[in-house]
Amino acid sequence: MSEAKFFVPGPTWVRPEILEEMTRPMIGHRSAEFKKLFRSIANDLKALFGTTQDTFVATCSGTALMEASLVNCVPRRVLVTECGAFSERFGSIAESLGLEVDRVSAPWGAAVDPEALEDHLASRRTHYDAVTITHNETSTGVTNDVAALARVVRESSSDTMVIVDAVSSLGGIPVSFDAWGFDVCFASVQKGIALPPGITVFAVSQRALDRAAKLPYRGTYFDFLRYKKDAEGDSVPTTPSIPHFYALAAQLDTILRRETLEARFDRHVTMRGLTIRRTATFAKLASDPSHASATVTALAPVKEPESIRAEMKRRGYTLGGGYGQWKDTTFRIGHMGDIPLDALEEMLDALNEVARA
Ligand code: PLP
């Protein structure tokens, strides 16, 4: 029996070796040991994001980077692409910052249509400082075609920043920051990267740093230019969660050199296929199958979702609940990070007994 029984779409199951890494003795964050750790993480993050530009780590959850990317890149007006709860969150954060917000919205369960985005950008005379894109919408289990969406933005204007939320994709679904023309991309680590929650990794383009330099007020904790300046000395602006740095260095080594990115992405695709196939007799896929996510599946079962989750819990398995407007009608299976295939198979065996009974 596998020990991985936690199938929530973030936080996800964490390998015991990684938890062990977090118990190592403290080091000072201005010490030579920390600088070495910092360098190895910054280099490995470049490979993970697919960039030669700057990568950073902030001690916070992903929502903080949603806010930070707006604070650093958007003086006035932002276009939010949305298709579920987390992409919608960008709009409410922007409004809380007093920004002007427009939206291109797809219905829950659908992906954002690049043509709809193109039409919106072509039909408005408005200039947007940035467009936000959510790579993988965790509330519905939909993966947007982020390369196509980013291309539409880049072709529409040379100084509209492309801000990408890769919270539930990075480490499970390919991300190519430079090739796809992103300006800011971030991910909290409790999903595809399979660490305990507490830090967020992010990449920032030179264009975004130049934009930030033109804004007079960028706050303090999340000022990208402070991150950049400190990174030049292999450090961070404020005291970081050092246990997470240990764990991140070990996990990046595993992802890039032991498992390899290609094998990791393949395993996620296999997990998606298994999940969809082995739930088809008792649940409908809640979202558009042509954009089904490789990290999370939202299901609308014949039986009441909460009764299924409760019985699975009695058997030792934790599944994700429905989210937002889908709370009562769906449940979600997180198949992300380090979950082994045999663990997923075992969980799906149990789920079949429970959901078909
Ligand atoms: N964006 C997406 C796509 C998410 O799935 C989540 C959390 O589930 C967030 C943002 C918010 O991240 P955090 O909970 O780390 O603040």
Provide the whole-model pTM. Answer: 0.98
Query: 């118990």: which residue's tokens?
Result: 23
Closest CA relative to residue 308, chosen from 293, 328, 324 = 328
Whether the predicted pLDDT of 335 surpasses 90: yes
88 Cβ below 6 A of ligand 1: no
Per-residue pLDDT reduced to its tens digit, 218-240: 999 999 999 999 999 999 999 99
- Measuring from atom 5 of ligand 1, which residue has the nearest CA? 138
- Res. 126 pLDDT band, cuts 50 70 90: confident
Start-to-end Cα distance in the chain: 23
Question: Quick one: pLDDT at residue 351?
Answer: 98
- How far is Cα 64 from Cα 222, in angstroms, rounded to an integer? 8
Question: Quick one: pLDDT at residue 1?
Answer: 81
Taking residues 84-110, what's their average pLDDT? 98
Angle at Cα 290 formed by Cα 286 and Cα 295, nearest 5°? 65
Atom of ligand 1 nearest to the CA of 10: 8
188 Cβ below 6 A of ligand 1: yes
- How far is Cα 39 from Cα 233, in angstroms, rounded to an integer? 10
Atom of ligand 1 nearest to the CA of 190: 15
- Res. 69 pLDDT band, cuts 50 70 90: very high
CA R_g for the chain = 20
Å from CA of 202 to ligand 1 middle: 13
Closest CA relative to residue 52, chosen from 179, 190, 226, 228 = 179
- Res. 125 pLDDT band, cuts 50 70 90: confident
Whether the predicted pLDDT of 148 surpasses 90: yes
CA 107 to centroid of chain Cα atoms: 20
* Mean pLDDT rounded to a whole number for the chain: 97
| Phi/psi at 132 (5° precision) | -100, 140
Per-residue pLDDT reduced to its tens digit, 270-319: 999 999 999 999 999 999 999 999 999 999 999 999 999 999 999 999 99
Inter-residue contact 73 to 161 (CB < 8 Å):
yes
Inter-residue contact 70 to 93 (CB < 8 Å):
yes
160 Cβ below 6 A of ligand 1: no
Whether the predicted pLDDT of 46 surpasses 90: yes
Whether the predicted pLDDT of 348 surpasses 90: yes
Inter-residue contact 141 to 332 (CB < 8 Å):
yes
- How far is Cα 167 from Cα 187, in angstroms, rounded to an integer? 4
63 Cβ below 6 A of ligand 1: yes
167 Cβ below 6 A of ligand 1: yes
Taking residues 20-33, what's their average pLDDT? 98
Atom of ligand 1 nearest to the CA of 200: 15
134 Cβ below 6 A of ligand 1: yes
CA 215 to centroid of chain Cα atoms: 27
> How many residues are present in the chain?
357
Contacts of 70 (CB under 8 A, 6+ apart): 78, 90, 93, 94, 97, 99, 130, 132, 163
Taking residues 189-205, what's their average pLDDT? 98
Closest CA relative to residue 224, chosen from 193, 250, 185 = 185
325 C-beta neighbours (distance < 10 Å), count: 13
Question: Quick one: pLDDT at residue 92?
Answer: 98
- How far is Cα 342 from Cα 91, in angstroms, rounded to an integer? 39
Taking residues 237-251, what's their average pLDDT? 98
- What is the full DSSP assignment across 182-235? -SEEEEESSSTT---SS-EEEEE-HHHHHHHHH-S---STT-HHHHHHHHHTT-
Encoded tokens for 67: 């806010």
Encoded tokens for 157: 């204007």
Question: Quick one: pLDDT at residue 155?
Answer: 96
Question: Quick one: pLDDT at residue 172?
Answer: 98
